[in-house]
Chain A
């Protein structure tokens, strides 16, 4: 009787090694791409951040230690850009989550044309930020723009939307919310619609309706979905750039100068060292937020599971 094939022991070592080789071979293209486009640039950025390396005059490039970092820390605009970025993230993400959730509830209702509405509502997400930024820039043009024309039709005074320090940030927030709230709404809608009909029915029998249905049943059940969409929006908001670049370029003055636009100005001016240092600090900030966020999520999930077991 022939022996049963065994996958352990010395006899099968060559097979395992062969499989490992195949695995590495199959992984190699991805690893190479990652190495070339992500790992190497990050390491090179660290190297650059300790150098003065002007794009316009490579002859004077040299090592300068921590100076790029100390220069950044002593620059008011750097701290202002961090403040603005955090403020932007908190306000924009809060609006998008709250309005997105309300929109999701609305779309969840059985009504005529709901599917058409769902399709239409997602359109802003698909528009290129550059095209959208240019369009909104024209709309908010103070003299011949549509926004002030509309206001004047209502007998109201117009604003210098994008060229006043009082209104520029708010205008950008409005446009960003216009684009991303539908995205949040659709993801949350998917979460709401995945709730089992038995649970909904049980809630109905228990006479849990209206606001309490959403706060006591829906929100706890779609919490993982909320966390995912929240994480996406927070990370996106911290690295917010395209609309800012097209619509105000950080201005007027530095009133909308968020971190990524602040960093970009170093590239524009050819200061590769400062650009790298600022980019790395931004990377640290994003990772810090993500770490805190995921940690909180993990702990709350664990606590919820423990409560369920009790």
Chain B
């Protein structure tokens, strides 16, 4: 009993002393400060008496001290870095997973970094990437930290506007090791850029997977489980397809360009396909016109017979809306995101589950999901490097620094990449599923600057095929020819 209260008293004393060492505090913190003073005096008296007999009075005093101290420490940050100051400007695309999560974390950040002003410079999604790329190319100094979809990461990295962060990570190896242990390798590796010496340029708090979404209640009623092969998927889509009752067999986003590109690649990967024969000198030859490519487009063609009517020109917005209203019950390859488990978005939030996508039959086929997510990086043109790193490290800390960070991100609609945060939020099916699917992922784009442009062009060809504008041979040949042209321009065949 004595030993236990001693330990508590010492811990509280250490903590309070640590807090006392902090630089000037603002008014709000003065209140905390007075609490700590009170806690400290009580602790001191308890400590002085600790050699004596335990009386009821002493016991009550110790309990009171512990309670006051616990309350004081619960509402005060572990450490306050008042010596870090400046203004960190965050440039990002607005949206739940983008701006909302950062805004949710900012109050927590400012408790620890009271002298860093966080400025949110969000802009609408349309043209965000183009604006960002252009700003990075001219070494724009108007922002310090940016947030970008993984797929755009290598391209933006090639502008030369990102700061490598390996040295910064090495300054706090405990933090770095925790991050690397907690974020699955398939996710954290996306931000180490091979074409730039394998250096780390970004940290990720957000993981995303393109995989199968389905309505469990509908599948249970139909006596089916999420299909594991594309043949099963086509069969179940046919079975579920009932336009008269407003229910459609499957849904996907085939808007020309990037959206259709991700769906094609999602199916293509499960059929054993890859973009290039080999990704090294002497290779880089596009191989879309292969068994896997043909199988992928045939699967898509069959699924389109039982597809939701928006599919032919849909983005993820339309797909999510269709799930939300109940006309979509099965999406074999969708991004979906955590919004589908948000009761304020859909009344089917509790019934929408997800699983690995089905597998094809070609050599190398398997149930593979495309890995995605968002990464943060420091703009090399930015002026506030210290504040930028403070923000980035804090935002991506997870439970290592404060469990409240992860909780705030989840509550704002984010989908963490850290296993520890996912583990604490298993009540949301999507987050539970992310954890399950991470080990079975493939990168949703190759780690080359041309990746996004290639994804868009295969999406154009795929969309033309889906809409009967091109046949299967013409579409696959065009994918290969156009990719080859891009790779030529990038100097891959020299």
Chain A residues near B (Cβ < 8 Å): 52, 54-60, 71, 77, 141-144, 160, 162-165, 168, 248-255, 257, 265, 267-271
Contact = CB atoms under 8 A, between A and B. Distances in A.
5 contacts: A56-B155, A56-B158, A144-B327, A160-B309, A269-B456
B133 A165 contact: no
Given A254-B463, A255-B467, A270 B309 contact: no
A249 B259 CA distance: 12
CB-based closest 5 A-B pairs: A253-B467, A56-B155, A142-B309, A252-B313, A160-B309
Contacts of A265: 257, 456, 460
B450 interface: yes
A168 B322 CA distance: 20
A160 B310 contact: yes
A172 to B, nearest CB: 12
Contacts of A249: 255-257, 313
B310 A55 contact: no
A251 B255 contact: yes
B155 A57 contact: yes
Contacts of A255: 467, 469
A248 B159 contact: no
Contacts of A56: 133, 155-156, 158-159, 449-450, 452-453
Contacts of B312: 160, 163-165, 251-253
B308 interface: yes
B172 interface: no
B476 to A, nearest CB: 15
B327 A251 contact: no
A143 B325 contact: yes
B137 interface: yes
A252 B467 contact: yes
A60 B130 contact: no
B155 A141 contact: no
A79 B318 CA distance: 30
Interface in B295-336: 308-314, 318, 322, 325, 327
B167 interface: no
A56 B254 CA distance: 24
A165 B469 contact: yes
Nearest to B155: A56
A251 B309 CA distance: 14
Given A56-B155, A143-B325, A269-B456, A250 B491 contact: no
A163 B313 contact: yes
Contact of A142 (B160, B310, B452): B310
Contact of B327 (A77, A143, A270): A143
Given A54-B489, A160-B310, A163-B312, A270 B463 contact: no
Interface of B: 130, 133-134, 137, 155-156, 158-160, 246, 254-257, 308-314, 318, 322, 325, 327, 449-450, 452-453, 456-457, 460, 463-470, 485, 489-491
Contacts of A77: 460
Given A59-B158, A143-B308, A165-B469, A268 B130 contact: yes
A251 B463 contact: yes
A144 B325 contact: yes
B449 to A, nearest CB: 4
Given A56-B453, A58-B160, A252-B463, 16 more contacts: A54-B490, A56-B133, A58-B137, A60-B491, A163-B309, A163-B314, A164-B312, A248-B313, A249-B257, A251-B255, A251-B256, A252-B467, A255-B467, A265-B456, A269-B452, A270-B452
B460 A254 contact: yes
A251 B156 contact: no
Contact of B256 (A57, A142, A253): A253
A276 to B, nearest CB: 14
Contacts of A269: 452-453, 456-457
B11 to A, nearest CB: 52
A251 B453 contact: no
Contacts of B456: 265, 268-269
Contacts of A52: 489
Given A144-B327, A163-B314, A252 B254 contact: yes
Residue among A52, A251, A255, A267 having the largest count of chain B Cβ atoms under 10 Å: A251
B458 to A, nearest CB: 11
Contacts of B255: 249, 251-252
Nearest to B315: A249
Nearest to A270: B453
Contacts of B467: 165, 251-253, 255
A54 B154 CA distance: 13
Residue among B314, B467, B468, B491 having the largest count of chain A Cβ atoms under 10 Å: B467
Contacts of B156: 56
Contacts of A251: 254-256, 312-313, 463, 467
A141 B452 CA distance: 29
Nearest to B454: A269
B113 to A, nearest CB: 33
Given A55-B137, A143-B322, A265-B456, A254 B158 contact: no
A267 B127 CA distance: 9
Contact of A143 (B309, B457, B469, B490): B309
Contact of B158 (A57, A141, A253): A57
B250 to A, nearest CB: 14
A55 B322 contact: no
A163 B254 CA distance: 10
Contacts of A168: 313
A143 B158 contact: no
A248 B460 CA distance: 13
Contact of B490 (A57, A71, A165, A268): A57
Contacts of A267: 130
Contacts of B457: 269
B9 to A, nearest CB: 59
Contact of A165 (B159, B327, B465, B468): B468
Contacts of B325: 143-144
